[in-house]
A and B are shown apart, each in its own frame.
Chain A
Amino acid sequence: MIPLGYFLGFGVLLFALGLYGVLTQRSAIRMVMAIELMLNAANINFLAFTRYLYPDDPRGAIWAIFVMTVAAAEVAVGLAVILVLSRRRQTIDVDAAEEMKH
């Protein structure tokens, strides 16, 4: 069987990749995709821990289901916000939205 460490390493890499994407990408859609990677990294952790360490406890799997459901709701609202951005400015580059200055 594949050792637990491989799954956890994969989870950490996926999380780091997502975080990198959120911090570097300027396209709103790409940032949303990067956030999805981070959420999936958490899910992989939950499922791997459940399978390897707590096989009799369904809680990790329940978490994964909740995360997927909530993420779908979050993306639905987020895409609506991005849609308004693209309608008003004909771009989804988040740097286009910088009317307010520090």
Chain B
Amino acid sequence: MERNILVLLPQLVLIATSFLVLAVDLRTGDRKNREAELIPWLVALLGTVAALVTLPLWVGQGEFWGRMWQSDRFSLFFQVLVFSVMILVLLESAEYVRSREIQSGVFYALILLAGVGMTMMASSRELLTIYVGLELMSVSFYALVGMMKNDDRSNEAAIKYYLLGAASSAVLLFGISLLFGLTGSTYLPEISSKLSGLQGTAALPVAWAAVLLLFVALGFKVAAVPFHMWTPDTYQGAPTPVTAYLAAGSKAAAFAALIRAFSLGLPTLADLWQPALTAVAVATMTYGNVVALSQTDVKRMMGYSSIAHAGYVLTGLAIFTPESLSATLYYLLAYAFTNLGVFAVIVLVAGRRGNEEISSFRGLGQISPAYAAALTLFFLSLVGIPPTAGFLGKFYLFFAMIEADYTWLAVVMVINSVISLPYYYNVVRQMWLEPPEEANVLPAGTAAGQTAATIAHRALLGIGPAVAVTALAVLLLGLYPQPFIEWVRQVTLL
């Protein structure tokens, strides 16, 4: 019950920075000066780095502010993850925002606030804080997805994400209200102890309904089948850095809430939700991989790929052993960095060619071999081929599965990896084996006088460092995993 403002320091830094970004944007926003437009971006980036730097001031395990805030290794893990994701997303946004009609101040402020929401979701054992965090993240995302006001696709993506997202949070609330009625509490450990007293009573079906409603709502946020309908459209229509943020940040935060709620609040009903979660996980990965095969837009393809990966991650929670939860966290880490790398290259290619069709990757191996090689590495990681982070994430999950006598699930996952191979390979093949399309190199609306060559070789600010960092992280997590595995093992000792 201790009150300590230090425990909220990273969040306070981010909130202060978001206001500062808005204020700075008012001063510089209306100038048609390309350099001045970068000032809000720089402030946001410095603020996020500052939030990451404050983490070593960690005050230790414990509950603060009347049990509303939980500080433990789990929350620390997700703060490190979310802040790293934010820094990479900001790096990818600089040129994207500058070259489109996006209000940079509002955009960066919302990125920061969404990050605050994500860390809130991971830093509490009280459903009220988790709910407010979820809403802070979601409301920021509704606006971020629809940020390109003159783009029909961005608006369509926002409409779909908003209507389904708001409905899903209403479903979440109804589930929580049922749990509150049954247990008189929304504090997860208390819910758990009260629910175990309900075994065999007539109130149990109500608890089942509550579990179902909670899973529907959080399953929507992680894009699990059959609550995935929004994912392809929203991923395709949203500004590319926002898509990356959705895939890496929002998904990780939703899994944090899912793990907290199910492993702390509802373990007594595990017999019920474990089989259901396993079935959903298998359906999710299979559906995502099969539908991704026929996509022509790379962002839409990554949307289906992200559905498939949600299925992989869900297996970790479905098995529900300490080892499998650690594997889940490791997978989330690997997936976040890999995905951010992929989207960094997409921002680059789309910036040069003006569209996100898979065919615009043709000949990237000739134009910029370094980026093509990096993208190949990221795709290897997504399929799960060594020596990458994705391979180790899958390997760790397999290990947990076999240990828990879920060998058949490991087999299903291997089959799924094989199914996913063709759609990643298609992009890799176009990059290395096809010649670049000269007609495609000049994006529509480019000022006359710029030759194709200058556009192709113009470096995009921030993309280089983002690709380098993510590629290093993917290799590090794949080749030197011991410290990270020990870290996630400590984290799940909740």
- Our pick among B132, B146, B177, B178 for the contact of A81 (Cβ within 8 Å) is B146
Query: Number of A interface residues, CB 8 Å?
Result: 47
B411 within 8 A of A: no
Q: Is the contact region of chain B dominated by helix, strand, or loop, or is it mixed? A: helix
Interface residues of B in 150-174 (CB under 8 A from A): 152-153, 155-160, 162-163, 166-167, 169-171, 173-174
Check A31–B178 contact: CB distance below 8 A: no
Check A98–B173 contact: CB distance below 8 A: no
Determine the distance from Cα of A19 to Cα of B167 in the docked complex, in whole angstroms.
Answer: 8
Check B149–A84 contact: CB distance below 8 A: yes
Determine the distance from Cα of A45 to Cα of B156 in the docked complex, in whole angstroms.
Answer: 34
Tell whether A98 pairs with B139 under 8 Å between CB atoms, given A22-B163, A78-B162. Answer: no
- Our pick among B143, B166, B184, B185 for the contact of A35 (Cβ within 8 Å) is B166
Q: How far is the CB of B119 from chain A (nearest CB, A)?
A: 18
Check B232–A102 contact: CB distance below 8 A: yes
Q: How far is the CB of A5 from chain B (nearest CB, A)?
A: 12
Check A67–B142 contact: CB distance below 8 A: no
B327 within 8 A of A: no
Interface residues of B in 120-135 (CB under 8 A from A): 128, 131-132, 135
When distances are taken between beta carbons in the complex, the residues of chain A under 8 Å from B395 are none
Tell whether A38 pairs with B174 under 8 Å between CB atoms, given A66-B128, A84-B146. Answer: yes
Determine the distance from Cα of A28 to Cα of B155 in the docked complex, in whole angstroms.
Answer: 13
B58 within 8 A of A: no
Determine the distance from Cα of A57 to Cα of B152 in the docked complex, in whole angstroms.
Answer: 48
A100 within 8 A of B: yes
Of the listed residues B156, B157, B237, the one surrounded by the most CB atoms of chain A closer than 10 A to its CB is: B156
Determine the distance from Cα of A32 to Cα of B181 in the docked complex, in whole angstroms.
Answer: 26
Q: How far is the CB of B137 from chain A (nearest CB, A)?
A: 12
When distances are taken between beta carbons in the complex, the residues of chain A under 8 Å from B131 are 66, 70
- Our pick among B143, B159, B174, B232 for the contact of A94 (Cβ within 8 Å) is B159
When distances are taken between beta carbons in the complex, the residues of chain B under 8 Å from A46 are 177, 180
Check A70–B180 contact: CB distance below 8 A: no
Interface string of A2-40 (1 = CB under 8 A from B): 000000100100010011001000001001101100110
Check A60–B180 contact: CB distance below 8 A: yes
Check A45–B174 contact: CB distance below 8 A: yes
Check A42–B170 contact: CB distance below 8 A: yes
B186 within 8 A of A: yes
Check A81–B166 contact: CB distance below 8 A: no
Chain B residue at minimum C-beta to C-beta distance from A25: B163
Check A35–B300 contact: CB distance below 8 A: no
Q: A77-B162, A100-B237 are in contact. List 15 more A-B contacts (CB 8 A).
A: A22-B167, A28-B163, A35-B163, A42-B174, A74-B135, A78-B163, A80-B143, A94-B160, A94-B163, A97-B155, A99-B153, A100-B153, A100-B300, A102-B232, A102-B291
Interface pairs (10), CB distance under 8 Å: A15-B174, A35-B170, A42-B176, A46-B177, A54-B184, A70-B135, A82-B159, A85-B156, A88-B152, A94-B160
